[in-house]
Amino acid sequence: MARMAREKWYDIARDLDWELSYVDYEEVFPEWMSGQGKVPREAWAGWDEPYKVTYPEYVATQREKETGAYSVKAVLQKSRIFDQLDEGWKSVAKEHFGAVALVEDLAAYAELRMARFGLSPAWRNMATFGALDETRHAQISLYFPHALVGKDPQYDWAHKAYHTNQWAVIAARATFDGMMMNPNVVDVAVQLPFTFETGFTNVQFVALAADALESGDINFANMISSIQTDEARHSQQGGPTLEILVEHDPRRAQWIIDKTFWVSARLFAVLTGPGMDYYTPLPMRRQSYAEFMQEWIAGQFVDQLHDYGLKKPWYWDEFMAGLDTWHHSLHLGVWYWRPTVWWKPQGGVSPEERDWLHEKYPHWEEQFGPAWNVIIGNINDGRIELTLPETLPWLCNLCHLPIGTAGSPRNEKYPVRSYPLTYNGYTYHFCSRPCRQIWWEDRDTLYDPTVIERLLGGQIQPLTVEGILTWMGLTPEVRGEDAYSYRWARPYAARRRPGDRPGDRPGGAETGTRDRGGQAAHTQEPAGQGQPVPVNALFEDDFVTQLVVVRDTDTVDQAARKVAAQVVGRRVPPRDAGLVVRFDGMAVPGDITVAESGISALDVVNVGWAGGHQ
């Protein structure tokens, strides 16, 4: 039987709506949920989705997609392909599953909120399909790794991660709650479908599929690119919503995009960047992370922004510069703090990989090479304990990523530093000016204490590395370790690169390398030796700021050595020089006490070499 073409009846069916008679419009679509703002009610009647689909079409297409994805899985499960996958690549998949699977579930709720509170029947119809899509994504993203749990317990974190307080999960939860659950649905449509799903998810689900296929993980490539075909459709809720918002309140539209873009970019620098540029085996890398971001974000997404009459975000130059640094810094952090993640970070800095990094990122060697040289030296000298953390990096109050990772060492324009803000007598710390500004604008809707704040607030007991890992839910069998037992560092033991000193032994500095009495966050000191003063400490040329607990009765020299003990000989080479502390921009005499210096809890303290930068 011939069927009437969809476009001959679709609009009438789609626009079916109620005229309310028993309740007021505002009760059905309350402002705090629907977010109409300055847009007149009648304007929403013009909401027109460009990517149209009927329910029978939807069911038929989804059935075909599911059949395709699950039949590939069924065939490959009988093969040995998984066992032959590179360990570094497996970590890309593990990180993805843990960070993404239950966010898909969260996205189903975001779609359902739009399906209920969206301001036009066409929008609500499309959001209903979106909710079904996201349910499929959550299911498939849990089902695929579930088959692998018996081979590797880290895959269990596909389901477990979001039920823990692991630091990256806290960062993701803060970002996605802010994108999907906290805002009204107009903001959700501009944040989630428009900014996130037409921008960033393409990098994780389409671009990453290219690396997956090259790495032989056909199953993963097939699954994520199948998921993204749904996203390509339901993300089109963003455009019509944005078009109406831009017409009536362009300032709000620009702000929603700007803030969402920034927090997404920060999160993707840890979610996607290390996987593409370090974990994926070198011969399998299709493009660098920066190149993929150029293709999908700086090119495609910005064209789209302009097409809606919007501008690039105000921090654009800083974002573009960050494509060369953020994810390198975050990779170094994830690798150094590897027991705190549920995957096995591949160091990825062998001589050949390093050449590739230098080719793709001309400043990599200058900015990150020195820290890796110290690490490599320690590995080859058997001092693995110096490549493992004894304290935590200080975390940004907005993006929850380590402070310093929005810059890089030896980078004059975007240096490693904290951007503090004291508000109502409490000092918040941020990784960047944009994070600080977004927090300030949205401060009334944000409540996610960082791991550092939870630690200082006494939620984490005991205050040891073991206590922190346990609090994060990381049982011993899933804690991250180097993917290849440091194989990548071995060639340096026999081969010296010009200008490198990876085999040099630390020593000779008048610092914590000689006096290893460094007081990490967890170090217990005898009672009666003054009050603990947790500070946000940066050591010159390091890549993050860290929590270091000094005592108010310590001399400033002693405090400096406690900071140095967490850095020198670990990521910064020792030097035959004394230390100097700078606080509030002034050098502080070494022989006065911390209390006398005015340094107090949560303050930013900078420690460097006496005699200045060399």
Partner 1 sequence: MSKPVGPVLRMSDDVDAIVAAIVDDNPGREVTVVDRGAYTRVSGDGELRVTRESIERHLGRGFEMRQLEGLMSAFAGRIDMTSEEVRWRLKSGEPGAPA
Find the shortest distance in angstroms from Cβ 296 to partner 1.
8
Comparison of 284 and 321: residue with beta carbon closer to partner 1: 284
Residue with structure tokens 């873009």? 261
Q: Are 277 and 331 in contact (CB under 8 A)?
A: yes
Comparison of 65 and 358: residue with beta carbon closer to partner 1: 65
Comparison of 171 and 209: residue with beta carbon closer to partner 1: 209
Find the shortest distance in angstroms from Cβ 579 to partner 1.
50
**Residue ranges that bind partner 1, judged by CB under 8 A:** 5-7, 50-53, 57, 60-61, 64-65, 68, 198, 202, 205-207, 209-210, 212-214, 221-222, 225-226, 228-229, 231-233, 236, 239, 286-287, 299-300, 303-304, 306-308
Comparison of 9 and 109: residue with beta carbon closer to partner 1: 9
Find the shortest distance in angstroms from Cβ 500 to partner 1.
34
What distance in Å separates the CA atoms of residue 361 and residue 367, rounded to the nearest whole number? Answer: 10
Find the shortest distance in angstroms from Cβ 56 to partner 1.
9
Using H for helix, E for strand and C for coil, what is the string for 261-284? HHHHHHHHHHHCHHHHHHHCCHHH
Neighbours of 118 (CB within 10 A): 26
**Which parts of 18-144 are beta strand (E)?**
none
Q: Please give the backbone phi and psi of residue 419, each rounded to the nearest 5 degrees, phi first.
A: -115, 90
Find the shortest distance in angstroms from Cβ 248 to partner 1.
18
The closest of 137, 228, 238, 131 to 195, measured between CA atoms, is 238
Comparison of 303 and 385: residue with beta carbon closer to partner 1: 303
The closest of 360, 204, 363 to 291, measured between CA atoms, is 360
The closest of 157, 153, 32 to 101, measured between CA atoms, is 157
Sign of the torsion formed by the C-alpha atoms of 424, 425, 429 and 432: positive
Comparison of 1 and 586: residue with beta carbon closer to partner 1: 1
Comparison of 10 and 486: residue with beta carbon closer to partner 1: 10
Which amino acid is present at 61?
Answer: T
Find the shortest distance in angstroms from Cβ 458 to partner 1.
47
Comparison of 67 and 529: residue with beta carbon closer to partner 1: 67
**DSSP code string of 92-124:** HHHHHHHHHHHHHHHHHHHHHHHHHH-SSHHHH
Find the shortest distance in angstroms from Cβ 135 to partner 1.
17
Query: Distances from the Cα of 77 to the Cαs of 97, 208, 343, in angstroms?
Result: 18, 21, 21
Find the shortest distance in angstroms from Cβ 233 to partner 1.
6
Dihedral angle computed from the Cα positions of residues 306, 265, 90 and 330, in that order, rounded to the nearest 10 degrees:
150
Find the shortest distance in angstroms from Cβ 510 to partner 1.
53
Comparison of 298 and 601: residue with beta carbon closer to partner 1: 298
Comparison of 5 and 527: residue with beta carbon closer to partner 1: 5
Checking 310-318 for CB contacts under 8 A at 24+ apart, the result is 310/246, 310/250, 310/253, 310/254, 310/257, 311/254, 313/257, 313/258, 313/261, 313/262, 314/258, 314/434, 315/258, 315/262, 315/433, 315/434, 318/414, 318/432, 318/433, 318/434
Q: Which two tokens stand for residue 408?
A: 């890089």
The closest of 501, 614, 512, 523 to 557, measured between CA atoms, is 512
Find the shortest distance in angstroms from Cβ 275 to partner 1.
15
